[in-house]
Copies of this chain bind each other. A is one copy, B any other.
Amino acid sequence: MNDFDVTNLTCPIPISDYPNVLLAHGSGGILMNQLIEKIFLAAFKNPILEQKHDASVLEPGKGKLAMTTDSYVIHPLFFPGGDIGSLAVHGTVNDLAMCGAKPLYLSAGFILEEGLPMDTLWKVVVSMAQAAKNAGVQIVTGDTKVVNKGKGDGIFINTAGIGVIEHDLSIAPASIREGDAIILSGDIARHGMAVMAVREGLEFESMITSDSAPVNAIVEKLIASDIDIHCMRDLTRGGVASALVELAKSANVHINIEEEKIPVHEDVRGACEILGLDPMYVANEGRFVCFVPEGQADKVIQIMREYSDAEEVVCIGKVSLDKKGQVTLKTSIGTTRYVDMLSGEQLPRIC
Protein backbone atom coordinates (compact mmCIF):
# COMPACT_ATOMS: atom_id res chain seq x y z
CA MET A 1 0.00 0.00 0.00
CA ASN A 2 2.85 2.40 0.77
CA ASP A 3 5.84 3.21 -1.33
CA PHE A 4 7.68 4.23 1.79
CA ASP A 5 8.70 2.30 4.83
CA VAL A 6 10.13 4.74 7.32
CA THR A 7 12.18 2.02 9.01
CA ASN A 8 14.02 1.09 5.83
CA LEU A 9 14.84 4.48 4.44
CA THR A 10 17.96 6.42 5.17
CA CYS A 11 17.92 10.17 5.09
CA PRO A 12 18.76 11.43 1.57
CA ILE A 13 20.94 14.23 2.96
CA PRO A 14 24.04 12.37 4.21
CA ILE A 15 24.57 12.68 7.95
CA SER A 16 28.25 13.33 7.23
CA ASP A 17 27.32 16.47 5.26
CA TYR A 18 24.57 17.98 7.39
CA PRO A 19 23.78 16.02 10.56
CA ASN A 20 21.56 18.85 11.80
CA VAL A 21 19.30 21.55 10.44
CA LEU A 22 21.10 24.91 10.17
CA LEU A 23 19.62 28.41 10.05
CA ALA A 24 20.83 28.49 6.44
CA HIS A 25 18.39 25.69 5.59
CA GLY A 26 15.66 28.31 5.93
CA SER A 27 17.29 31.24 4.20
CA GLY A 28 16.20 30.83 0.60
CA GLY A 29 19.56 29.76 -0.80
CA ILE A 30 21.38 26.61 -1.86
CA LEU A 31 20.84 24.68 1.38
CA MET A 32 17.13 25.40 1.42
CA ASN A 33 16.88 24.21 -2.15
CA GLN A 34 18.70 21.02 -1.22
CA LEU A 35 16.34 20.45 1.70
CA ILE A 36 13.30 20.94 -0.54
CA GLU A 37 14.60 18.69 -3.31
CA LYS A 38 16.06 15.87 -1.24
CA ILE A 39 13.66 15.73 1.69
CA PHE A 40 10.29 17.26 0.85
CA LEU A 41 9.97 16.63 -2.89
CA ALA A 42 11.47 13.15 -2.48
CA ALA A 43 8.92 12.11 0.12
CA PHE A 44 5.83 13.98 -1.08
CA LYS A 45 6.44 13.41 -4.81
CA ASN A 46 3.42 14.28 -6.97
CA PRO A 47 2.92 16.24 -10.21
CA ILE A 48 1.25 19.22 -8.53
CA LEU A 49 4.02 19.73 -6.00
CA GLU A 50 6.59 19.44 -8.76
CA GLN A 51 5.30 22.63 -10.38
CA LYS A 52 7.62 24.20 -7.78
CA HIS A 53 5.86 27.53 -8.12
CA ASP A 54 4.97 29.99 -5.34
CA ALA A 55 1.48 28.51 -5.28
CA SER A 56 0.14 25.26 -6.73
CA VAL A 57 -2.58 25.13 -9.33
CA LEU A 58 -5.44 22.74 -8.52
CA GLU A 59 -8.53 21.45 -10.29
CA PRO A 60 -10.77 20.14 -7.53
CA GLY A 61 -13.80 19.72 -9.80
CA LYS A 62 -17.36 20.74 -9.10
CA GLY A 63 -18.97 21.36 -5.74
CA LYS A 64 -18.44 23.60 -2.79
CA LEU A 65 -15.05 23.55 -1.11
CA ALA A 66 -14.06 23.16 2.50
CA MET A 67 -10.89 24.68 3.94
CA THR A 68 -9.26 24.10 7.32
CA THR A 69 -5.95 24.57 9.11
CA ASP A 70 -4.19 23.20 12.17
CA SER A 71 -0.74 23.64 13.62
CA TYR A 72 0.85 20.68 15.39
CA VAL A 73 3.22 21.24 18.31
CA ILE A 74 2.98 17.84 19.99
CA HIS A 75 5.69 16.85 22.42
CA PRO A 76 7.29 14.32 22.11
CA LEU A 77 7.50 14.13 18.31
CA PHE A 78 7.13 10.33 18.32
CA PHE A 79 4.62 8.38 20.43
CA PRO A 80 3.03 4.90 20.35
CA GLY A 81 0.73 4.82 17.36
CA GLY A 82 2.08 7.83 15.52
CA ASP A 83 4.24 10.91 15.31
CA ILE A 84 3.85 14.62 14.56
CA GLY A 85 3.95 13.87 10.81
CA SER A 86 1.09 11.37 10.66
CA LEU A 87 -0.85 13.44 13.20
CA ALA A 88 -0.52 16.56 11.02
CA VAL A 89 -2.17 14.66 8.17
CA HIS A 90 -4.88 12.87 10.18
CA GLY A 91 -5.94 15.96 12.11
CA THR A 92 -6.48 18.12 9.06
CA VAL A 93 -8.02 15.34 6.96
CA ASN A 94 -10.48 14.70 9.80
CA ASP A 95 -11.42 18.36 10.13
CA LEU A 96 -12.40 18.34 6.44
CA ALA A 97 -14.27 15.05 6.82
CA MET A 98 -16.25 16.51 9.74
CA CYS A 99 -18.04 18.92 7.43
CA GLY A 100 -18.67 16.15 4.93
CA ALA A 101 -15.92 17.15 2.53
CA LYS A 102 -13.78 14.69 0.63
CA PRO A 103 -10.21 15.78 1.52
CA LEU A 104 -8.03 16.32 -1.57
CA TYR A 105 -5.10 18.63 -0.98
CA LEU A 106 -2.88 19.57 1.95
CA SER A 107 -0.28 22.27 2.40
CA ALA A 108 2.62 21.66 4.77
CA GLY A 109 4.41 24.46 6.64
CA PHE A 110 7.42 23.45 8.73
CA ILE A 111 8.99 25.51 11.50
CA LEU A 112 12.26 23.78 12.35
CA GLU A 113 14.53 24.53 15.29
CA GLU A 114 18.17 25.02 14.41
CA GLY A 115 20.05 21.87 15.42
CA LEU A 116 17.22 19.43 14.71
CA PRO A 117 18.75 16.11 13.61
CA MET A 118 18.24 15.86 9.84
CA ASP A 119 17.31 12.22 10.30
CA THR A 120 14.45 13.15 12.63
CA LEU A 121 13.08 15.53 10.00
CA TRP A 122 13.29 12.80 7.38
CA LYS A 123 11.43 10.28 9.56
CA VAL A 124 8.64 12.79 10.19
CA VAL A 125 8.38 13.74 6.53
CA VAL A 126 8.23 10.11 5.39
CA SER A 127 5.55 9.41 7.97
CA MET A 128 3.55 12.38 6.63
CA ALA A 129 3.90 11.03 3.10
CA GLN A 130 2.65 7.60 4.20
CA ALA A 131 -0.26 9.06 6.11
CA ALA A 132 -1.23 11.22 3.11
CA LYS A 133 -1.24 8.18 0.82
CA ASN A 134 -3.33 6.18 3.25
CA ALA A 135 -5.85 9.01 3.54
CA GLY A 136 -5.92 9.56 -0.23
CA VAL A 137 -4.72 13.17 -0.16
CA GLN A 138 -1.85 14.96 -1.88
CA ILE A 139 0.55 17.40 -0.24
CA VAL A 140 0.64 20.08 -2.94
CA THR A 141 2.51 23.05 -1.53
CA GLY A 142 4.83 23.76 1.35
CA ASP A 143 7.15 26.09 3.21
CA THR A 144 10.07 25.76 5.59
CA LYS A 145 11.33 28.19 8.17
CA VAL A 146 14.22 27.67 10.58
CA VAL A 147 14.33 29.45 13.96
CA ASN A 148 17.33 29.83 16.24
CA LYS A 149 18.10 27.09 18.74
CA GLY A 150 15.98 27.64 21.85
CA LYS A 151 13.30 29.59 19.96
CA GLY A 152 11.32 26.55 18.83
CA ASP A 153 11.06 22.91 19.87
CA GLY A 154 12.32 20.54 17.21
CA ILE A 155 9.50 20.60 14.67
CA PHE A 156 6.20 22.44 14.46
CA ILE A 157 4.02 21.59 11.45
CA ASN A 158 1.06 23.44 10.03
CA THR A 159 -1.19 21.70 7.54
CA ALA A 160 -4.05 23.44 5.79
CA GLY A 161 -6.45 21.32 3.78
CA ILE A 162 -8.94 21.64 0.95
CA GLY A 163 -11.76 19.21 0.25
CA VAL A 164 -14.78 19.09 -2.03
CA ILE A 165 -18.36 18.73 -0.87
CA GLU A 166 -20.13 16.50 -3.39
CA HIS A 167 -23.51 16.13 -1.66
CA ASP A 168 -26.41 18.34 -0.63
CA LEU A 169 -26.40 17.60 3.10
CA SER A 170 -26.00 20.56 5.38
CA ILE A 171 -23.63 19.10 7.97
CA ALA A 172 -23.37 21.72 10.70
CA PRO A 173 -24.38 22.38 14.32
CA ALA A 174 -27.49 24.23 13.09
CA SER A 175 -28.76 21.01 11.50
CA ILE A 176 -28.91 19.10 14.82
CA ARG A 177 -32.55 18.18 15.58
CA GLU A 178 -34.59 16.99 18.56
CA GLY A 179 -34.48 13.22 18.75
CA ASP A 180 -31.15 12.86 16.93
CA ALA A 181 -29.04 9.90 17.99
CA ILE A 182 -25.46 10.69 19.01
CA ILE A 183 -23.05 8.10 17.64
CA LEU A 184 -19.50 7.88 19.05
CA SER A 185 -17.03 6.19 16.69
CA GLY A 186 -15.04 4.26 19.32
CA ASP A 187 -13.27 4.20 22.68
CA ILE A 188 -11.96 7.51 23.97
CA ALA A 189 -8.87 9.13 25.52
CA ARG A 190 -6.23 6.89 23.99
CA HIS A 191 -4.34 9.59 22.09
CA GLY A 192 -3.88 11.90 25.06
CA MET A 193 -2.89 9.08 27.39
CA ALA A 194 -0.45 7.53 24.91
CA VAL A 195 1.35 10.87 24.68
CA MET A 196 1.25 11.51 28.42
CA ALA A 197 2.57 8.03 29.21
CA VAL A 198 5.66 8.67 27.06
CA ARG A 199 6.11 12.21 28.32
CA GLU A 200 5.77 11.32 32.00
CA GLY A 201 7.76 8.10 31.61
CA LEU A 202 4.86 6.05 32.99
CA GLU A 203 5.04 2.29 32.60
CA PHE A 204 1.80 0.36 32.37
CA GLU A 205 1.29 -3.38 31.87
CA SER A 206 0.39 -2.77 28.25
CA MET A 207 1.49 0.07 26.02
CA ILE A 208 -1.30 2.56 25.34
CA THR A 209 -1.43 3.32 21.64
CA SER A 210 -2.84 6.53 20.16
CA ASP A 211 -6.07 6.26 18.17
CA SER A 212 -4.63 8.68 15.59
CA ALA A 213 -6.20 7.74 12.23
CA PRO A 214 -7.92 9.29 9.23
CA VAL A 215 -11.72 8.94 9.35
CA ASN A 216 -12.55 10.30 5.90
CA ALA A 217 -13.19 6.87 4.37
CA ILE A 218 -15.78 6.13 7.08
CA VAL A 219 -17.52 9.45 6.52
CA GLU A 220 -17.55 9.01 2.75
CA LYS A 221 -19.12 5.58 3.19
CA LEU A 222 -21.87 7.01 5.43
CA ILE A 223 -22.68 9.69 2.88
CA ALA A 224 -22.65 7.17 0.02
CA SER A 225 -25.07 5.03 2.07
CA ASP A 226 -27.64 7.86 2.17
CA ILE A 227 -27.24 8.53 5.87
CA ASP A 228 -28.81 11.91 6.62
CA ILE A 229 -25.89 13.18 8.71
CA HIS A 230 -26.90 16.29 10.65
CA CYS A 231 -23.58 17.13 12.26
CA MET A 232 -20.16 15.62 13.03
CA ARG A 233 -17.30 16.73 15.26
CA ASP A 234 -13.93 15.17 15.93
CA LEU A 235 -12.95 14.83 19.58
CA THR A 236 -9.53 16.44 19.75
CA ARG A 237 -8.40 19.00 22.36
CA GLY A 238 -10.86 19.11 25.22
CA GLY A 239 -12.12 15.59 24.44
CA VAL A 240 -15.68 14.38 23.97
CA ALA A 241 -16.97 16.61 26.79
CA SER A 242 -15.75 19.93 25.36
CA ALA A 243 -16.91 18.99 21.85
CA LEU A 244 -20.43 18.18 23.02
CA VAL A 245 -20.69 21.34 25.16
CA GLU A 246 -19.64 23.44 22.15
CA LEU A 247 -22.25 21.73 19.96
CA ALA A 248 -25.03 22.04 22.55
CA LYS A 249 -24.36 25.78 22.74
CA SER A 250 -24.00 26.31 18.96
CA ALA A 251 -27.13 24.31 18.13
CA ASN A 252 -29.02 25.48 21.25
CA VAL A 253 -30.14 21.96 22.08
CA HIS A 254 -29.94 19.65 25.09
CA ILE A 255 -27.47 16.80 24.66
CA ASN A 256 -28.15 13.79 26.90
CA ILE A 257 -25.44 11.15 27.19
CA GLU A 258 -24.92 8.05 29.29
CA GLU A 259 -21.57 7.47 30.99
CA GLU A 260 -21.88 3.68 30.80
CA LYS A 261 -22.15 3.74 27.02
CA ILE A 262 -18.87 5.59 26.50
CA PRO A 263 -16.09 3.07 25.86
CA VAL A 264 -12.85 3.64 27.78
CA HIS A 265 -10.25 0.88 27.72
CA GLU A 266 -9.17 -0.41 31.13
CA ASP A 267 -5.51 0.59 30.70
CA VAL A 268 -6.54 4.08 29.63
CA ARG A 269 -8.92 4.42 32.56
CA GLY A 270 -6.11 3.33 34.90
CA ALA A 271 -3.65 5.81 33.44
CA CYS A 272 -6.22 8.61 33.74
CA GLU A 273 -6.76 7.74 37.41
CA ILE A 274 -3.03 7.82 38.14
CA LEU A 275 -2.74 11.26 36.52
CA GLY A 276 -6.00 12.55 37.97
CA LEU A 277 -7.57 13.13 34.55
CA ASP A 278 -11.13 12.62 33.36
CA PRO A 279 -11.13 10.63 30.09
CA MET A 280 -14.10 12.70 28.91
CA TYR A 281 -11.71 15.66 28.56
CA VAL A 282 -8.72 13.83 27.09
CA ALA A 283 -7.89 14.33 23.40
CA ASN A 284 -8.54 11.78 20.66
CA GLU A 285 -7.20 11.95 17.10
CA GLY A 286 -9.31 9.33 15.34
CA ARG A 287 -12.67 9.59 17.07
CA PHE A 288 -15.75 11.61 16.25
CA VAL A 289 -19.39 12.02 17.14
CA CYS A 290 -22.08 11.92 14.50
CA PHE A 291 -25.64 13.27 14.89
CA VAL A 292 -28.18 11.33 12.80
CA PRO A 293 -31.96 10.79 12.82
CA GLU A 294 -32.80 8.17 15.46
CA GLY A 295 -34.22 5.79 12.85
CA GLN A 296 -30.84 5.60 11.08
CA ALA A 297 -28.73 4.96 14.20
CA ASP A 298 -28.59 1.17 13.79
CA LYS A 299 -27.64 1.44 10.12
CA VAL A 300 -24.85 3.92 10.97
CA ILE A 301 -23.44 1.59 13.63
CA GLN A 302 -23.60 -1.34 11.25
CA ILE A 303 -21.69 0.56 8.55
CA MET A 304 -19.06 2.00 10.86
CA ARG A 305 -18.36 -1.29 12.64
CA GLU A 306 -16.82 -2.61 9.41
CA TYR A 307 -13.89 -0.24 9.85
CA SER A 308 -11.06 -1.20 12.21
CA ASP A 309 -10.90 2.41 13.43
CA ALA A 310 -14.58 2.30 14.47
CA GLU A 311 -15.01 -1.26 15.80
CA GLU A 312 -16.36 0.00 19.11
CA VAL A 313 -18.86 2.45 17.61
CA VAL A 314 -21.82 3.04 19.92
CA CYS A 315 -24.83 5.28 20.44
CA ILE A 316 -24.09 7.34 23.58
CA GLY A 317 -27.23 9.43 23.83
CA LYS A 318 -29.74 11.65 22.13
CA VAL A 319 -30.78 15.22 21.56
CA SER A 320 -33.74 16.84 23.31
CA LEU A 321 -34.87 20.41 23.82
CA ASP A 322 -35.33 20.21 27.61
CA LYS A 323 -32.29 22.19 28.72
CA LYS A 324 -31.16 24.12 25.71
CA GLY A 325 -27.43 24.74 25.44
CA GLN A 326 -26.59 22.11 28.05
CA VAL A 327 -25.02 18.68 28.16
CA THR A 328 -26.15 16.26 30.85
CA LEU A 329 -24.52 12.95 31.72
CA LYS A 330 -26.38 10.05 33.31
CA THR A 331 -23.65 8.56 35.51
CA SER A 332 -23.05 4.87 36.06
CA ILE A 333 -24.62 5.14 39.52
CA GLY A 334 -27.83 6.52 38.02
CA THR A 335 -27.48 10.21 38.89
CA THR A 336 -27.48 12.96 36.31
CA ARG A 337 -25.00 15.83 36.21
CA TYR A 338 -24.18 18.75 33.96
CA VAL A 339 -21.08 18.50 31.80
CA ASP A 340 -18.98 21.66 31.51
CA MET A 341 -16.31 22.73 29.11
CA LEU A 342 -12.74 22.13 30.27
CA SER A 343 -12.06 25.06 32.56
CA GLY A 344 -8.31 25.02 33.02
CA GLU A 345 -5.50 23.45 31.13
CA GLN A 346 -5.41 19.69 31.27
CA LEU A 347 -2.91 18.33 28.78
CA PRO A 348 -0.79 20.85 26.94
CA ARG A 349 0.78 20.01 23.59
CA ILE A 350 -0.95 16.72 22.85
CA CYS A 351 -1.58 17.80 19.26
Q: Which A residues contact B (CB, under 8 angstroms)?
A: 22-24, 26-33, 51-60, 64-73, 75, 94-96, 98-99, 101, 105, 107-111, 140-143, 145-148, 150-153, 156, 158, 160-163, 165, 172-173, 233-234, 236-239, 242, 246, 250, 281, 283, 341-349, 351
State whether B70 touches A109 (Cβ < 8 A).
Answer: yes
Neighbouring B residues of A22 by C-beta, 8 Å: 345
State whether B67 touches A107 (Cβ < 8 A).
Answer: yes
State whether A237 touches B109 (Cβ < 8 A).
Answer: no
State whether B346 touches A96 (Cβ < 8 A).
Answer: no
State whether B107 touches A55 (Cβ < 8 A).
Answer: no
Q: Which residue of B is nearest A105, CB measured?
A: B67
State whether B99 touches A54 (Cβ < 8 A).
Answer: yes
State whether A65 touches B73 (Cβ < 8 A).
Answer: no
State whether B29 touches A107 (Cβ < 8 A).
Answer: no
State whether B250 touches A52 (Cβ < 8 A).
Answer: yes
Q: Which residue of B is nearest A345, CB measured?
A: B24
State whether B65 touches A348 (Cβ < 8 A).
Answer: no
**A158 vs B101: C-alpha distance when bound (angstroms):** 22
Neighbouring B residues of A32 by C-beta, 8 Å: 237-238
**A163 vs B56: C-alpha distance when bound (angstroms):** 10
A-B contacts, 29 of them at CB < 8 A, read A24-B345, A26-B345, A27-B345, A27-B348, A29-B242, A29-B281, A29-B345, A29-B346, A54-B96, A54-B99, A54-B234, A55-B68, A55-B101, A55-B161, A56-B68, A57-B101, A58-B65, A58-B66, A59-B65, A67-B162, A68-B141, A69-B143, A69-B158, A69-B160, A70-B143, A71-B111, A73-B111, A109-B160, A148-B349
**A69 vs B242: C-alpha distance when bound (angstroms):** 30
Neighbouring B residues of A24 by C-beta, 8 Å: 344-345
**A158 vs B68: C-alpha distance when bound (angstroms):** 12
Neighbouring B residues of A31 by C-beta, 8 Å: 344-345
Neighbouring B residues of A59 by C-beta, 8 Å: 64-65
Q: Which residue of B is nearest A63, CB measured?
A: B59
**A300 vs B233: C-alpha distance when bound (angstroms):** 50
